Structure 1
Amino acid sequence: MKNLFNALILTIISLFSCNPKSSNPENTLAGISDIKVLQYAIEGKTLYEANCANCHQSNGMGLGRLIPPINQSDYFLADISRTAKIIKYGQKGEITVNGVVYNQEMPANSRLTNIEIAHIMTYLYNIWGSEKGVVNAGMVEGYLKN
């Protein structure tokens, strides 16, 4: 069973590595070479698309002046623990992202587990030029306690 799993992961890696990288911001998993990060990121991409992309968009660019971007966002990159809290508990009030003020409430995702939040965060913190590595469930638990 483990050999089958390893073969599947290697197949996925080879599929992404054979495709030319483009400037398309949605081509996000192609640059991840660490197998553990890729495992988390694959799950995270699915969870992100189901729970976050409706507002923040698949490419992370947000919705104009209504929903802030995540992709290349100074606010997002500045505090990884804050990201865990925002995903789990939501956020209200004004924030400034890349010099633009946003004041749209982000709803809580309280049904997401720590491992699901870890997958989403690993995906987001390892695409669009970032390379933060794996964010695991224990880290998320610590971020949510503080």
Structure 2
Amino acid sequence: MSQEPATRAQQRENEDPEEAVRPMPLAALLVAAGMVVWAVVYILTTEPLNLSSLGDQRTRAELSAPAQAAGAAVDGKALYAAQCAACHQATGAGLPGVFPPLDGSEWVRGEPRVLANILLHGVTGEITVKGSKYQGVMPAFSQLSDSELAGIASFIRGSWSNRAGDVPAELFARERKDGQRTTPFEGEAALEALSR
């Protein structure tokens, strides 16, 4: 009696799986081979990919920025946006307690030589701007050319509520040549010594 139920259970089970090799179906093999043959023929019969008619039609001269002529005016506003606006903001108002304002700043409106040296060498330490004290670091921008620095200085001296005159590039060239400083100015006392 006990063998009969086992036989019925065995009849309901599937066959044990085999580990025999089962080749890819012939239809799938033909499709794969056909795709490879088509790809090889397509690559061999198409035009090369380096033809200018397949891409951008502009020349290298059109894509490169126009060369700036010697003595040409520099876009101080664009340079300010790229170099200074992250800290001093596009409005020149700075960030209270962190970055001093340039709008209405006595350092911007004052002696151009002091502003030139601030841009060339930077400032570290305490500085008072419009009655508020700021403690921080302003990096030097000596990597910029004299005309680029003059463009930035002229822009900030004539923007917002500032109505000071332009700064010539020659001032930056002279300060760069005459200055032996390799470190930033140590606060406002060192800057005030320049204006005397």
Question: TM over 0.5: same fold?
Answer: yes
Q: State how far apart, in whole Å, the 1-side matches of 2:136 and 2:162 are.
A: 26
Quick check: 133-142 or 82-91, which moved more? 133-142
Say if 2:73 is the partner of 1:56. Answer: no
Task: Tell me which stretches of 4 or more aligned residues in structure 1 moved more than 3 Å.
Answer: 129-134
Give the counterpart letter for 1:130 in structure 2.
Answer: N
Residue equivalent to 1:7: none
* Equivalent residue for 1:114, pick from 139, 143, 146: 146
For residue 81 of structure 1, report the CA deviation from its aligned partner.
1.1
Partner SS for 1:92: strand
Residue equivalent to 1:103: 135
Say if 2:172 is the partner of 1:140. Answer: yes
Q: Between Structure 1 and Structure 2, whose CA radius of gyration is higher?
A: 2
Q: State how far apart, in whole Å, the 1-side matches of 2:166 and 2:111 are.
A: 16
Q: State how far apart, in whole Å, the 1-side matches of 2:89 and 2:158 are.
A: 17
Length-normalised TM-score, structure 1: 0.66
Length-normalised TM-score, structure 2: 0.50
Give the counterpart letter for 1:44 in structure 2.
Answer: G
For residue 132 of structure 1, report the CA deviation from its aligned partner.
3.4
Partner SS for 1:67: coil
Say if 2:136 is the partner of 1:124. Answer: no
Tell me if structure 1 keeps the 8 A contact 2:116–2:171: no
Q: State how far apart, in whole Å, the 2-side matches of 1:134 and 1:110 are.
A: 19
Partner SS for 2:139: coil
Unmatched segments (≥5 aa) in structure 2? 1-71, 180-196
Q: State how far apart, in whole Å, the 2-side matches of 1:143 and 1:110 are.
A: 11
Unmatched segments (≥5 aa) in structure 1? 1-38
Larger fraction in strand: 2
For residue 60 of structure 1, report the CA deviation from its aligned partner.
0.4
For residue 85 of structure 1, report the CA deviation from its aligned partner.
1.1
Q: State how far apart, in whole Å, the 1-side matches of 2:77 and 2:117 are.
A: 19
Q: State how far apart, in whole Å, the 1-side matches of 2:105 and 2:167 are.
A: 18
Cα deviation per residue 1:90-134 (whole Å; 9 max; x = unaligned)?
111111111111111111112111110011111111122434343
Residue equivalent to 1:36: none
Calculate the aligned-residue CA RMSD, in Å.
Answer: 1.9
